[in-house]
Structure 1
């Protein structure tokens, strides 16, 4: 018998990495070349929570406006070229966006089927208040006995027995519901909180007609989705090696495309003629972004990525392969936000001589004038010194650093009283004291606290819903994975048999010989490093131990933190997860860099 013709790779173009990416990028991805699918990720973890209260009170549409704008601009091209779209821009109310898109399709008399995915909103099941014990809603890291959650992780239990209102709770869905919708004929599928890579997995799963148990293939497509989900992060954006390239190329980089083959391997590329660039360095950087060790979990598959490989495959083309898959865990992540209390920050400047002593004096003064009863009500009072004055400044700005005073409490009155204590210092301040304007001023404002939870996949009622004529809704339950495989404790090791060096050395900055990428996962932060010269790999893996990471963190290190370390030997990368360094994480982190983007800016 003749061998069946193997279906070509599916071309999946990303048009959004968050809700602020321009809507016209969907149109550009559809018109600058041939693609089969357009996917878009519009949701950072806090997006949903920020709008949830307004949406429930009828003051917000529930979906992301840029998602609608992109579809409105592109709908004619989608119909003409037969491009399918899967996006999570439905956010809180994917049905509302789907209805609006269906109305646009009808107005233009286009033959496009519109569906939306539901089941991610767990607020009706878990709300309206936060649990009263830790056991009622397990923390994401509860299975790791070495990683104790940050001190304020369970702050909602310390409210004097009063209920703490939950604001939102959204489970991270996989790709199976989207695939079911595509198989039933959907051209446009609007999702809420699916995992960032799930639309890409679904596109490849549907295109190649994989089964639920093609785990290696699903795992490969998961990593393809991970690489393109953050829009230009793989085409030159957020790239540690940017300074070696023409800056004009990085002003407006083009958005990426993943060409996913039937075996799950992929080529990461972009439309010809667009700015930016794709090479093994940009791909390695994006691969290391927001990982947690050498297994990447999705609701449909666990991707084992220790043997991942990348190879140049031509101009702006990188081949990615070596991923292995196994069944998914029985649980998935659920992002929960609740009313955390009130916060404010003070930003104060100092210039010139003896800056450190100036901040010492100010901290003593503020602590002195905050009443003891107020101090006992504060959850956070941090004095963060930002910057170091130049040794021989050529302007006042080069001589200026600032102090960030960050204050939180469950009581608005306590935050207001702590900030008001500034007035008692009045003209007692240090020499040259001055302040600057800032959006988070000394006025207390409510903030949302984040709690990443684990929920059972079997507790999720995932449904694909088609909008028929006269807005009739026809729904289909999409079930659950056929089998699960629990993950166990993550790998964590220092280098085996590291190479030793007994030669003359010289001091240099780590960034001169290595590139890095860091990001956040709730209260945890990840960072990966790889050398620009492969000959430096034996040295880097020997040098970058867990103890070395503690040393490099310097004064940022706390003994309550926990470090995991793994290696990706084929791409010459060392990867760390630092548990607890971002506190509660996201909107409730007290760090200046609450999303962990600049940990790669470590000391030399």
Structure 2
């Protein structure tokens, strides 16, 4: 069958608004997808719905509807189908509003939606509890003629596996083909991250042609019936697609060799990437296994309230000033009527000696308090901080006065048997088609670590230098855990990286991980290592327990650390 061209126009709720128009008008396309949901987004939508349960628009990504208002006619004209998870907590409401929009614009489109992911009623105390559905509900909608399909919580890759299964007629047990689509979907899901955005070696692209990264185009995949794909972008758009940018995105928010999802378990250790021309990367060799018998369920609940103050410490005696104000504030909090349950401190040494500006002579000391009671985090911290204004270190001031305290969320992952989740395709004509669960269940077991390449010969001279001169990295969050994927760009660098960057060495380089459980995975086909770091993000991004709550820059910190590196690699 013909090649299926699937593009992406959104990597998160808040991504480039014009991307939908750019993708629809920039070149040939069969399906345009949009990923609007993240763990944090589900919490935000849940709070939105809680504020006004009667609002029919509450719980879905309103930006999607605004994008359609200016792009629906273009999509219809060009025959491009649109598949998006913008339905969030309210896919039926979004589908209804899309139909009303189409009627108002006089554009005849068939709108379907997927539901069944909402398990909130089964998890008392949660704000939102949603199973991650696969792509076969989307496929059912498309096979029945839908022009637009909106979903709630599906896996990011399902936005691609669904259209591919519908187009090529794949069945649920064609694991290798489905796994190829999952890998392509994972590359597309974060938009411009596959076309040079957030890329470790961005400076090489920028120095070669400063125009290329000013406005990166969004990615698309040319999918084939055998599950192979070519990742590319529309001609003439900014950014770059090469083996490096695709490798970086493949490692993002993944773990080991098995990438388990509701449709298939994709074996990341089988992926082969080759440059197939300018801005074209071929993805092939992907093997698939049965999906696990359970679906991941994301549980979002309110964890309490948080407040913070950042003290500015300028000039000399930074450490002593930090010690003084910390002792003073802790004393005040200890004698308060109700001390916050959690108090965390972090000193960022942003100061420089003999600085030419006051700002560059200053360090930042941040205190964050959390408690189930809003009044406790508001009154206790506010009074204690403000009362120190004339009684603490020289040069006392803060970036902003403490507020009343804001609610924070907690994300947890649970699981539900596939057969217990009512995955349903609701067609444009109102018919409801149940989507059967996967027939077989994979028993997840460790994958044997592949053999390492031969180490580099010992003896040649080394130089103390940043790891990032030899390896790229990308990092991200999964609940309270983080991953760091690193890859080498040459075989020689891979031989060095595979033997040098052990879990013990990682702990040395990143002292914040010293007491945490770390698992290292080896992916030789990608010349890559992937580290899973458990618990570094506390209760997840919404709790904001860490300076970098989504671990977005954890990999860049690692790349900045110095090791003894063979000079031949530098």
TM-score, normalised on structure 1? 0.87
Confirm or deny that 1:197 pairs with 2:157.
yes
Select the residue among 3, 6, 12 that pairs with 1:18. Answer: 12
Alignment correspondent of 1:145 = none
Select the residue among 527, 534, 546 that pairs with 2:484. Answer: 527
1:144-543 mapped onto 2 (5 Å cutoff): 166-246=126-206, 247-371=210-334, 378-416=340-378, 417-437=380-400, 441-468=402-429, 473-489=430-446, 498-499=455-456, 501-543=458-500
User: Secondary structure in 1 aligned to 2:431?
Assistant: strand
Task: Return 66-75 or 481-490, whichever deviates more.
Answer: 481-490
Measure the CA separation in 1 of the matches of 2:64 and 2:500. 45
Select the residue among 1, 9, 19 that pairs with 2:3. Answer: 9
Alignment correspondent of 1:595 = 550
Q: CA deviation at 1:113?
A: 1.6
Q: Deviations over 1:452-495 (max 9, x none)?
A: 22222122101111233xxxx32111121111112134667995
Q: CA deviation at 1:318?
A: 0.6
Measure the CA separation in 2 of the matches of 1:327 and 1:493. 21
> Could you tell me whether the CA contact under 8 Å between 1:86 and 1:188 is conserved in 2?
yes
> Could you tell me whether the CA contact under 8 Å between 1:492 and 1:564 is conserved in 2?
no
> Could you tell me whether the CA contact under 8 Å between 2:45 and 2:60 is conserved in 1?
no
> Could you tell me whether the CA contact under 8 Å between 1:493 and 1:565 is conserved in 2?
no
Select the residue among 54, 58, 74 that pairs with 1:58. Answer: 54
> Could you tell me whether the CA contact under 8 Å between 1:585 and 1:594 is conserved in 2?
yes
Alignment correspondent of 2:523 = 568
Q: Deviations over 1:192-221 (max 9, x none)?
A: 111111011111111111111110110110
> Could you tell me whether the CA contact under 8 Å between 2:475 and 2:483 is conserved in 1?
yes
Q: CA deviation at 1:48?
A: 2.2
Q: CA deviation at 1:434?
A: 2.0
Q: Deviations over 1:212-233 (max 9, x none)?
A: 1110110110010000111100
> Could you tell me whether the CA contact under 8 Å between 1:278 and 1:316 is conserved in 2?
yes
Task: Return 398-407 or 377-386, whichever deviates more.
Answer: 377-386
Q: Deviations over 1:475-527 (max 9, x none)?
A: 11112111111213466799586446233211011112221100001111001
Q: CA deviation at 1:308?
A: 1.7
Select the residue among 98, 102, 105 that pairs with 1:101. Answer: 98
> Could you tell me whether the CA contact under 8 Å between 1:494 and 1:546 is conserved in 2?
no
> Could you tell me whether the CA contact under 8 Å between 1:24 and 1:73 is conserved in 2?
no
User: Secondary structure in 1 aligned to 2:298?
Assistant: strand
Alignment correspondent of 1:583 = 538
Task: Give the number of aligned pairs.
Answer: 552
Measure the CA separation in 2 of the matches of 1:530 and 1:47. 30
Structure 1 gaps of 5+ residues are 1-6, 130-165
Residues 581 and 490 of structure 1: is their aligned pair in 2 closer, same or farther, counting only changes over 3 Å? farther
Measure the CA separation in 1 of the matches of 2:103 and 2:370. 50
> Could you tell me whether the CA contact under 8 Å between 2:306 and 2:377 is conserved in 1?
yes
User: Secondary structure in 1 aligned to 2:508?
Assistant: helix
Task: Return 184-193 or 238-247, whichever deviates more.
Answer: 238-247
Measure the CA separation in 2 of the matches of 1:491 and 1:67. 43
Measure the CA separation in 1 of the matches of 2:494 and 2:428. 54
User: Secondary structure in 2 aligned to 1:574?
Assistant: strand
User: Secondary structure in 2 aligned to 1:232?
Assistant: helix
1:1-150 mapped onto 2 (5 Å cutoff): 7-56=1-50, 57-59=53-55, 60-127=57-124, 129=125
Measure the CA separation in 1 of the matches of 2:354 and 2:95. 60
Q: CA deviation at 1:20?
A: 0.8
Task: Return 210-219 or 96-105, whichever deviates more.
Answer: 96-105
Q: Deviations over 1:74-93 (max 9, x none)?
A: 22222222211110011111
Residues 495 and 355 of structure 1: is their aligned pair in 2 closer, same or farther, counting only changes over 3 Å? farther
> Could you tell me whether the CA contact under 8 Å between 2:182 and 2:266 is conserved in 1?
yes
> Could you tell me whether the CA contact under 8 Å between 1:99 and 1:467 is conserved in 2?
no
> Could you tell me whether the CA contact under 8 Å between 2:137 and 2:425 is conserved in 1?
yes
Measure the CA separation in 1 of the matches of 2:381 and 2:105. 58
Q: CA deviation at 1:175?
A: 0.5
TM-score, normalised on structure 2? 0.92
Q: CA deviation at 1:103?
A: 2.4
Measure the CA separation in 1 of the matches of 2:204 and 2:492. 19
Q: Deviations over 1:151-173 (max 9, x none)?
A: xxxxxxxxxxxxxxx21111111
> Could you tell me whether the CA contact under 8 Å between 1:494 and 1:566 is conserved in 2?
no
Structure 2 gaps of 5+ residues are 563-570
Measure the CA separation in 2 of the matches of 1:324 and 1:203. 19
Q: CA deviation at 1:426?
A: 3.4
Q: Deviations over 1:32-87 (max 9, x none)?
A: 11111001101121222223243252245322122112222222222222211110
> Could you tell me whether the CA contact under 8 Å between 2:309 and 2:400 is conserved in 1?
no
